[in-house]
Structure 1
């Protein structure tokens, strides 16, 4: 069993999403003796910039055009990131909310690995997933509340999760489980984080 643990918070030991993911991984590791965890921290990985050159490389890769040595080095780095998804049996992804969205480094990773004929297919008419991953766990962490007092209609609470779910299904994840944790920057934070850790540990038993 190989699990890809995607870390998108740069806060280390102060991160609620990392703490909850670690609680899940600890419980899941005890339940699955053969577990191998591959941690992909978007802040520590040498992610290529998804700039004009990387986009050019992408089109050359799809059309199998020749590349110069620098372009090839970018393509190899992209392929190595893609391979980590291709080798995964499960995915765990912690997503803190930034300005009603997700950290830009996570989007950079998504843009790099979402390559035609690597994570998805396109025949000119329809898209298809290339991975066969039974399930993923997404941990959504938000500093404010979703209750009426904080304004449940505020932007971001739904579209953030919808996009991540869409992307995971697009590349081939069958079932997406989620934990939503709010009040992580006020007096309720210790209570809500501990409650989320307990939920994560319980979910690990049937993951």
Structure 2
């Protein structure tokens, strides 16, 4: 069993999303002792830019034109990142809310690896997933919540969850489970985080 743990917070030991994911992973190790965890930290991977070389490599690949050395280098890096998704059985992803969305480094990873014939197919008319991953868990962490007191209107917080859920299903995750932990900035934060850890541990039983 291989599990891909995607870390999208740069805060290390101070990160709520990382602490709750780690609680889940500890519990999952007790349930599935043979699990191998591959941690992909978007802040430590030195992700290449999806720049002119990367885009050039993409379009040359579609046209079956040879790549130059710079294009080949970045395309090989993209393929190696995508391979970690191709080889995993489960995905766990911690997502702190940044401006009602997700960290830009996570979007950079998604833009790099979401390539035709790597994570999805396209025949000119319809898209299809390439992965066969039974389930993923996304842990969303928010400093506030979408309630009357927060003063946040629609679409607000759904923008964070809807896109990540869509993307995971698009590439081939059958079941996307989620846990949302809110009020991590106020007086309730310590209690909220502990509750989140307990809920994450409970979800590890049948993951």
Could you say which TM-score interval applies, normalised by the shorter chain? over 0.9
1:65 aligned counterpart, secondary structure: coil
1:108 — aligned with what? 108
Q: Is it true that 1:194 corresponds to 2:190 in the alignment? A: no
**Offset at 1:64?**
3.0
2:107 aligned counterpart, secondary structure: helix
The 5 Å alignment of 1:125-204 reads 125-151=125-151, 153=153, 155-204=155-204
Stretches of structure 2 that go unaligned for 5 or more consecutive residues are none
> Taking structure 1 as the reference length, what is the TM-score of the superposition?
0.97
2:101 aligned counterpart, secondary structure: coil
1:72 — aligned with what? 72
**Offset at 1:63?**
3.2
1:160 aligned counterpart, secondary structure: helix
Task: State the alpha-carbon separation in 2 of the partners of residues 154 and 183 from structure 1.
Answer: 19
**Offset at 1:152?**
5.0
1:24 — aligned with what? 24
2:122 — aligned with what? 122
Q: Is it true that 1:83 corresponds to 2:83 in the alignment? A: yes
Q: Report if aligned partners of 1:5, 1:93 keep a CA contact under 8 Å in 2.
A: yes
**Offset at 1:5?**
0.2
* Alignment coverage as a number of residue pairs: 207
**Offset at 1:200?**
0.3
Q: Report if aligned partners of 2:117, 2:130 keep a CA contact under 8 Å in 1.
A: yes
Cα deviation code 1:93-130 (max 9, x no counterpart)? 01111011110000000000000011000000000000
Cα deviation code 1:67-90 (max 9, x no counterpart)? 122211101100000000000100
2:10 — aligned with what? 10
1:195 aligned counterpart, secondary structure: helix
Q: Report if aligned partners of 1:93, 1:138 keep a CA contact under 8 Å in 2.
A: yes
> Taking structure 2 as the reference length, what is the TM-score of the superposition?
0.97
Q: CA RMSD in A?
A: 1.1
2:191 aligned counterpart, secondary structure: helix
Task: State the alpha-carbon separation in 1 of the partners of residues 96 and 46 from structure 2.
Answer: 21
**Offset at 1:51?**
1.3
**Offset at 1:151?**
2.8
The 5 Å alignment of 1:30-45 reads 30-45=30-45
The runs of at least 4 consecutive aligned structure 1 residues that moved more than 3 Å come to none
